[in-house]
């Protein structure tokens, strides 16, 4: 896929876990098939900044080094989120200024550590509710709505060359949540806040399909603001055990979403949230579901892999 994606001028990628990079099949498939990697967990607050005065970059460093050695870009995920926070943050009791200092120092330290090495950052992740309101979280409660603007400004100060994204789920189609994200990023642009793109996570199932025309229209309106769009976390979960019909349908969904991306003006990356069904968050998060990725548990390519490959060849 990598060869054909590069001919199309698009990044094709996967989220990776540093601990699996030592597995030959895992590493070889990544090198051969993808030209961008996402840090699945290694840069989430809890893992990279476990104590107030200490950082743990080892796993993220491994991913970045692997990417550099193999001519790949890296998407850094994620600087500001309401989940996977260390206890000192989740249970913290600080003044508003201290909270701002905590977030500023975290962003500047993490982004600064990878200055020039990470192509794009998910700066703020999942800050909007389904109804379009701001999600109640520690940052909103302790700092206020401006935490979003501040996060982008601090990230840009730490690495002016990195692309900065807002990332969320269930915003691939046209709905109150994606409308609110549109208004949020439009407002940031109007304030001169450095934001370069929107990430559509695209966690879907064959029973819950986004409308292709709505996805196309949604990407266009973000593009019309001057923003890039990345598909950032795509997977298509199936009821277990999947039938051949399920796998065929899954392949069609992957294909259709890639086609929408390729046909859009500035949809510049298509990233799958994992590589192999052997390592996937889906079975734990969705009881009775799995088989969401394009390689099975034995690293064998599934119909979804071939559908992406053929689409990249044809376009």
252-286 tens-digit pLDDT: 999 999 999 999 999 999 999 999 999 999 999 99
Does the pLDDT at position 124 exceed 90? yes
**pLDDT single digits (tens) 9-61:** 999 999 999 999 999 999 999 999 999 999 999 999 999 999 999 999 999 99
Q: What is the pLDDT of residues 67-117, one digit of tens each?
A: 999 999 999 999 999 999 999 999 999 999 999 999 999 999 999 999 999
Average pLDDT, the chain: 97
Instruction: Decide if 195 contacts 185 (C-beta within 8 A).
Output: yes
The H-or-E segment that residue 305 falls in is helix 303-314
Residue 303 exposure: Cα atoms within 13 Å on the Cβ side: 14
Phi, psi at 150, each rounded to 5°? -60, -40
From CA 291, how far away is CA 276, in angstroms rounded? 9
pLDDT of residue 127: 98
Three-state secondary structure readout of 34-89:
CCEEEECCCCCHHHHCCECCECCCHHHHHHHHHHHHCCCEEEEEEEECCCCCCHHH
CATH number at residue 296: 3.20.20.80
Asked if 87 and 40 count as a contact pair (C-beta separation under 8 A), the reply is no
Contact 167, 77 (CB under 8 A): yes
Phi-psi map region of 169: left, alpha, beta (phi>0 left; psi -120 to 50 alpha) = beta
φ, ψ (nearest 5 deg) of residue 160: -65, -15
Q: What is the pLDDT of residue 210?
A: 86
d(CA 268, CA 110): 24
The SS3 of residue 16 is: strand
Residues annotated catalytic, as ranges: 126, 233
Q: What is the mean pLDDT of residues 177-182?
A: 98
Q: Which domain holds residue 105?
A: 2-314
Confidence of residue 201 (pLDDT cuts 50, 70, 90): very high
Quick check: 302 pLDDT over 90? Answer: yes
The region, left, alpha or beta by phi > 0 then psi within -120 to 50, assigned to residue 3 is: alpha
How many CA atoms does the CB half-sphere of 144 hold within 13 Å? 5
Res 146: pLDDT: 98
Q: What is the pTM of this model?
A: 0.97
Token pair for 265: 């003006």
**What is the pLDDT at residue 257?**
98
Question: What CA dihedral angle connects 26, 32, 38 and 42, to 10 degrees?
Answer: 30
Q: For CA atoms 151, 153, 158, 159, give the dihedral sign.
A: positive
Number of domains present in the structure of the chain: 1
pLDDT band at 197 (very low <50, low <70, confident <90, very high): very high
Contacts of 26 (CB under 8 A, 6+ apart): 20, 275, 276, 299
The span from the CA of 256 to the CA of 287, in Å, is: 26
CB-CB neighbours of 55 under 10 Å: 15
Dihedrals phi, psi of 272, to nearest 5 degrees:
-95, 140
How far is residue 51 CA from its own chain's centroid? 25
Buried b or exposed e, range 69-107, using 16+ CB within 10 angstroms: eeebbbbbbbbbbbeebbeebeeeeeeeeebbebbbebb
Statement: residue 206 has pLDDT above 80: yes
Burial of 7 (0-12, 13-18, 19+ CB in 10 A): exposed
Write down the pLDDT at residue 27: 98
Strand partners, 91: none
């Amino acid at each position: 896929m990598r060869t054909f994606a590069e001919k199309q001028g698009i990044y094709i990628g996967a989220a990776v876990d540093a601990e699996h990079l030592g597995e030959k099949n895992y590493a070889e498939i990544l090198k051969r098939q993808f030209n961008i990697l996402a840090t699945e967990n290694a840069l989430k607050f809890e893992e990279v900044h476990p104590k107030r005065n200490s950082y743990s970059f080892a796993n993220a460093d491994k991913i970045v080094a692997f990417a550099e050695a193999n001519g790949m870009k890296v998407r850094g995920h994620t600087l500001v989120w309401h989940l996977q926070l260390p206890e000192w943050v989740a249970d913290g009791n600080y003044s508003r200024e201290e909270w701002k200092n905590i977030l500023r120092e975290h962003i500047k330290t993490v982004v600064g550590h990878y200055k020039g090495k990470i192509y794009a950052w998910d700066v703020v992740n999942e800050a909007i509710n389904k109804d379009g309101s701001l999600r109640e979280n520690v940052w909103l409660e302790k700092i206020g709505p401006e935490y979003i603007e501040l996060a982008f400004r601090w990230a840009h100060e730490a690495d002016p060359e990195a692309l900065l994204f807002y990332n969320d789920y269930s915003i691939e189609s046209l709905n109150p949540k994606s409308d609110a994200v549109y208004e949020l990023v439009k407002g940031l642009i109007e304030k001169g806040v450095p934001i370069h793109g929107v990430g559509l996570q695209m966690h879907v199932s064959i029973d819950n399909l986004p409308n292709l025309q709505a996805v196309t229209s949604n990407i266009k309106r973000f593009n019309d603001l001057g923003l890039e769009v990345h598909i950032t976390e795509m997977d298509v979960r199936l009821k277990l055990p999947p039938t051949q019909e399920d796998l065929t349908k899954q392949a069609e969904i992957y294909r259709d979403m890639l086609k929408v991306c390729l046909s859009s003006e500035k949809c510049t990356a298509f990233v799958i949230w994992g590589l192999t069904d052997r390592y996937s968050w889906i079975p734990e998060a969705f009881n009775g579901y799995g088989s969401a990725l394009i390689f099975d548990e034995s690293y064998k390519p599934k119909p979804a892999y071939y559908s992406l490959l053929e689409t990249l060849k044809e376009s």
